[in-house]
Structure 1
Amino acid sequence: MTKTTPQILSRATTDAHPNDGVPKRAIWDQFIFFGDSITQIDGNPELGFSCMSALRYDYVRRIDIVNRGFSGYNTANALSVLPRFFPPPQEACVRLVKTLFFGANDASLPNTTGQHVPLEQYKLNYHKLLSHPSIIAHPDIKVLLITPPPIDEWQFDNWDEPGRSARKAVIAQAYARAVLEVGLESDTPVVDLWGECMRAIGWDGGEKLPGDRGVKKSALSRLLYDGLHLSGEGYKVLYDEMRKVVAREYPELVPHKIPVALEPFFPEWWQ
């Protein structure tokens, strides 16, 4: 007896019917979210809203949303781990979106947690990630950068050292600006999470920076559950801004523009 080898489709769509005699397997394209703990914990039910869960719902039967968040990682660690998990083109179609979401750890102060990456090296690491062979091997891949969120120093009282003293609001602002600069230098769209969080709490761009311990407490505690990581409301800000940037920069990637996989096979009268 001759075994029939299944045909592997390079895109999620297929017009194959289950009874045509040729078994075919649909492979969904992927969105890979690559970041630190803020990416890793996106989906924790205790936080309420989840950006990644909402996107999975938006793209159900269209795109596989893959979480590759690594708690504690900075951009130097990201460069080391990327080739160990990022699939080659023959294994997965990562032609759509890849998000780079680092900085919360890079921005820690020197001689504190051991995670610090100097600002210029941070930018250089981002450029190296954007041009990494594992990524550019996918010829149709689209990329989004995400700025790290603000820091609320007021919430660090509950942290143990050295974490309590490791991060400053003004430093987080500088690293967020660096991501915007990388986006301009590389012509890569950026989701300005830092800026959107500030706008969400009504900051007018004045000299008094919300989150700074020298300034009175702000509404950042709504968006950051511990001063560093996003709350459910913070993930909603990320989700809303990500959708806007995708619609503006990559309109072909909005959910309704992507065909569903494995269309139902019904008689004409069912239509």
Structure 2
Amino acid sequence: MRRKIYLFGDSITEESFGDGGWGASLAHHFSRMVDVVLRGYSGYNTRWALRVVERVFPAEAEEEAGSGGGAVPLAVTVFFGANDACLPDRCSAFQHVPVDEYKLNLKAIVSFLKKRWPTTELLLITPPPIDEAGRLLYPFIENQLGLPERTNEAAGAYAKACVSVAGECGLPVLDLWNKMQQNPDWRKIYLRDGLHLTELGNRVVFEEVICKLRETGLSLETLPVDLPLIAEIDPTDPLRSFQQ
């Protein structure tokens, strides 16, 4: 059975299978080796994700994994925080989760996944930076205050909390908030609406996820290919290659 990598997150994950998306790029990168499975939920925060995590990863999958072994995923990316970081006094306040609760929720999600699949690699991803001017141009709901519902400062606090949780849990983390801001033009080249990613922004996530997975031992060099490659098939006796 071909192994899986799950992508668990909010809209930045849900959109990742679009043209040039980081999830689609992962699926292409690991073709013939791993199925990349999308579990992205637009608008979700960690409070809601924790409430539904057992439905996203049901017990039936655990039982299947226990019986055959093949269903245990190789890795799960956990990419939440952009919605938790909505400000409590702005137009998207219903999505806000206090940063202390955000940390507890992340730890609970990690604990759930580790209990379900002890050998699965988990990768935490921080929320990206926020271009506040861009958010004013693309409000999700009516913005009567005329103020951005997110700020880069707030997103940075949640990114720092995500990095902290990764350290406490002994997990790798992709600090996207800091990584993207290393480029002085990050607002224009990485974000299309002040929050969601451009094709170049998706490329950053894809390349960083590949690097983090490689550090855990998951790479093109270490993973088996599904069924014989064409170069391995004997042209004088092709069917013999499928007897293994």
TM-score interval, normalised by the smaller of the two chains: 0.7 to 0.9
CA distance in 1 between partners of 2:193 and 2:105 (Å)? 27
Equivalent residues of 1:36, 1:70 under 8 A apart = yes
- Displacement of 1:261 in angstroms is 1.6
CA distance in 1 between partners of 2:74 and 2:188 (Å)? 34
Equivalent residues of 2:136, 2:148 under 8 A apart = no
The secondary structure found in structure 2 opposite 1:244 is helix
CA distance in 1 between partners of 2:62 and 2:235 (Å)? 37
Aligned to 2:221: 256
CA distance in 2 between partners of 1:41 and 1:268 (Å)? 42
Asked if 1:85 is matched to 2:50, the reply is: no
Q: How does 1:127-206 map to 2 (within 5 A)?
A: 127-132=107-112, 135-158=114-137, 159=139, 160-161=142-143, 164-199=147-182, 201-202=183-184
Q: Give TM-score, length-normalised by structure 2.
A: 0.85
CA distance in 1 between partners of 2:212 and 2:17 (Å)? 21
Of residues 65, 73, 79, the one that matches 1:101 is: 79
Aligned to 2:14: 40
The total of aligned residue pairs comes to: 223
Equivalent residues of 2:114, 2:120 under 8 A apart = yes
- Displacement of 1:182 in angstroms is 0.5
- Displacement of 1:233 in angstroms is 0.8
Compare CA radii of gyration and give the structure with the larger one: 1
Q: Which runs of 5+ in 1 are unaligned?
A: 1-26, 203-217
Q: For 1:25-63, what per-residue CA distance to the aligned partner results, in whole angstroms no more than 9, with x for missing partners? A: xx2211000000010011222xxx221111111111111
The secondary structure found in structure 1 opposite 2:224 is coil
CA distance in 2 between partners of 1:143 and 1:259 (Å)? 20
- Displacement of 1:164 in angstroms is 5.0
- Displacement of 1:156 in angstroms is 2.2
- Displacement of 1:255 in angstroms is 2.0
- Displacement of 1:135 in angstroms is 4.4
The one-letter code of the counterpart of 2:100 is: E
Aligned to 2:106: 126
- Displacement of 1:219 in angstroms is 3.9
- Displacement of 1:268 in angstroms is 7.2
The secondary structure found in structure 2 opposite 1:122 is helix
Aligned to 1:12: none
Equivalent residues of 1:62, 1:260 under 8 A apart = yes
The one-letter code of the counterpart of 2:41 is: F
The one-letter code of the counterpart of 1:228 is: L
Aligned to 2:214: 247
- Displacement of 1:109 in angstroms is 0.6
Q: For 1:169-218, what per-residue CA distance to the aligned partner results, in whole angstroms no more than 9, with x for missing partners? A: 1001111111110011110100111111011x14xxxxxxxxxxxxxxx5
Equivalent residues of 1:40, 1:68 under 8 A apart = yes
Aligned to 2:2: 28
The secondary structure found in structure 1 opposite 2:39 is strand
**Richer in helix (by share):** 2
CA distance in 2 between partners of 1:219 and 1:147 (Å)? 16
Asked if 1:67 is matched to 2:38, the reply is: yes
Q: Give TM-score, length-normalised by structure 1.
A: 0.77
Equivalent residues of 1:145, 1:189 under 8 A apart = yes
CA distance in 2 between partners of 1:219 and 1:195 (Å)? 11
